[in-house]
Amino acid sequence: MAWDFSTDPEFEEKLEWMRTFVREEIYPLETLDLDEATFRRLTDPLREEVKKQGLWAAHLDPELGGQGFGQVKLGLMHEILGSSIFAPTVFGNQAPDSGNAELIAIGATDEQKEQWLWPLLEGKLRSAFSMTEPETAGSDPTLLKTRAVRDGDEWVINGHKWFTSNGSSADFLVLMAITNPDVHPYQGASMIIVPVDTPGVDIVRDVPTMAEPDTEFGRYGNHSEIYYRDVRVPCENLIGNEGDGFVLAQKRLGPGRIHHCMRWLGQSKRAFDMLCERALSRYAFGTTLAEKQTVQNWIADSAAEMQAARLLTLHAAWKMDQEGSSKARVEIAMIKYFGATVLYNVIDRAIQIHGALGYSTDLPLEAMYRHARAARLYDGADEVHRVTVARQILKRYEPHDMPSEHIPTRREAAKQKFAALLDEATANL
Ligand SMILES: Cc1cc2nc3c(=O)[nH]c(=O)nc-3n(C[C@H](O)[C@H](O)[C@H](O)COP(=O)(O)OP(=O)(O)OC[C@H]3O[C@@H](n4cnc5c(N)ncnc54)[C@H](O)[C@@H]3O)c2cc1C
């Protein structure tokens, strides 16, 4: 019997250190309005501390300066990091740099590692992932229009992208483009590194969003709209092989989704703690809110939903560690929409119990809520992941003219199966 839901004690100690460190050293930063340089000054010593603990860039293999922990351990770490938006940066695994580093690492030449990967890991360079286009459905990347055409020893790129997170604060973009329109897009798309200062890269704006309606151009975390007009980059900026775009995207997105889901649980837990604290503190109609059955339902449902999301996610992580990303496809798709909905519901209940205070910016809940809404869209909308799950599950079934559980049909079959014994029973009457 190999079912085991425990964390090994040595790793649990690291997690405990992380919980205290994130709560005591990182939470306080959230309340300050810091510019980039001051944030860096305040967080640099924290990064050093994380490195000393051997927890820096833990998503990467040891030869890339990481810990090679595997997805289950990483998932447990991300659950803690997700509780504060600043924590991933202090631990060297903030999106999209972490995913891009993994991507470059998969197919990187020595030159690419030297030029892009090492500086990215050291935090000297920043990156963004540029795939979604305003004119085509991001849910169906086989429709991508952005083209990269080989001309001598250069790629010439033309296209229009948006929602490139951190595009305006990045040093380089990991671009997904069609390099061969004559084959199926699954074989005809490629990923190419494009430095932002290449002529023809035009970052026209940072798109205002529900989470950040007042964008300040170039701020970390913004989502950029970018035109690529006759952009020329050397052929060696191709990541992996020509036509690898979709394979690379899948490799990047699998672990990324585990980390997202576990970070959402960290956020959910923070909202849940606020929900419970308020339930015990607020008094109305003769009792505390904690004594109202509706509020008890919110607490019980939230706890069950978070536990379900946690187990689903850790199981998906375990399956990835055991059998690889492609075998865990259904599990990964399932946690994406399930986890996003849990996050959204728990924050919503936490806002509700706080009444007007929950709606105000005096609490972090309204901002958490606005950010949480995006979770149901990025990295694939809920509906797309549901399609994946349903399609894969349906492969395990066959159509039947008569339902296979049809009782009269089964009764006839049972009579035939047991005919001899049934005859004997009738004869003995
Ligand atoms: C905060 C945020 C950050 C992002 N960061 C990045 C980034 O860094 N890089 C990047 O390239 N992109 C990024 N994106 C874009 C994101 O990946 C896309 O928004 C997403 O893939 C959906 O594509 P779309 O917006 O074009 O919506 P569409 O593809 O047009 O889909 C719209 C809606 O149609 C419905 N739909 C689609 N397909 C189906 C289906 N099969 N069945 C039923 N309904 C369906 C869904 O309800 C979906 O929400 C980001 C988005 C957000 C919100």
| Per-residue confidence (pLDDT) for residue 121, from 0 to 100 | 83
| Per-residue confidence (pLDDT) for residue 276, from 0 to 100 | 98
Supply 396's token pair. 């395990």
**Overall average pLDDT of the 330-334 stretch:** 96
- Residue position matching structure tokens 């790629």: 155
User: Is the pLDDT assigned to residue 298 strictly greater than 90?
Assistant: yes
**Overall average pLDDT of the 410-429 stretch:** 90
Identify the bridge partners of residue 201 per DSSP, sorted by sequence position.
Answer: 228
- Residue position matching structure tokens 């798309």: 189
User: Is the pLDDT assigned to residue 345 strictly greater than 90?
Assistant: yes
**Overall average pLDDT of the 43-47 stretch:** 95
Cβ–ligand 1 distance for 144 under 6 Å, the answer: no
| Per-residue confidence (pLDDT) for residue 93, from 0 to 100 | 83
Which protein residue has the closest C-alpha to ligand 1 atom 24?
138
74 and 255 Cβ atoms separated by less than 8 Å: yes
Query: CA-CA distances (angstroms) from residue 241 to 106, 130, 190, 248?
Result: 11, 18, 8, 10
Ligand 1 mean position to 374 CA, how many Å?
10
Measured distance CA(362)–CA(262) in Å, rounded? 26
Beta strands in 278-331 (DSSP E): 283-284, 287-288
Structure confidence by residue, pLDDT tens digits, 238-264: 999 999 999 998 888 888 889 999 999
| Per-residue confidence (pLDDT) for residue 101, from 0 to 100 | 84
Structure confidence by residue, pLDDT tens digits, 92-142: 888 888 888 888 887 778 888 899 988 988 888 999 999 999 999 999 999
Ligand 1 mean position to 293 CA, how many Å?
38
Angle of helix 329-354 relative to helix 382-394, nearest 10 degrees, comes to 140
Ligand 1 mean position to 92 CA, how many Å?
26
Measured distance CA(250)–CA(331) in Å, rounded? 14
| Per-residue confidence (pLDDT) for residue 124, from 0 to 100 | 86
Ligand 1 mean position to 204 CA, how many Å?
20
**Overall average pLDDT of the 12-33 stretch:** 96
Cβ–ligand 1 distance for 135 under 6 Å, the answer: no
| Per-residue confidence (pLDDT) for residue 176, from 0 to 100 | 97
Q: Is 124 helix (H, G, I), strand (E, B) or coil?
A: coil
Ligand 1 mean position to 48 CA, how many Å?
37
User: Is the pLDDT assigned to residue 65 strictly greater than 70?
Assistant: no
| Per-residue confidence (pLDDT) for residue 104, from 0 to 100 | 85
Ligand 1 atom at shortest distance from the alpha carbon of 96? 8
| Per-residue confidence (pLDDT) for residue 320, from 0 to 100 | 92
| Per-residue confidence (pLDDT) for residue 109, from 0 to 100 | 84
Measured distance CA(201)–CA(237) in Å, rounded? 15
- Residues across the chain: 429
Q: How much is the mean pLDDT over the chain?
A: 94
| Per-residue confidence (pLDDT) for residue 411, from 0 to 100 | 97
The two beta strands, 172-178 and 189-195, are: antiparallel
Supply 326's token pair. 């492609």
User: Is the pLDDT assigned to residue 62 strictly greater than 80?
Assistant: no
313 and 339 Cβ atoms separated by less than 8 Å: yes
| Per-residue confidence (pLDDT) for residue 429, from 0 to 100 | 67
**Overall average pLDDT of the 283-303 stretch:** 98
Burial class (CB in 10 A: 0-12, 13-18, 19+), 257: buried
User: Is the pLDDT assigned to residue 360 strictly greater than 80?
Assistant: yes
Cβ–ligand 1 distance for 139 under 6 Å, the answer: yes
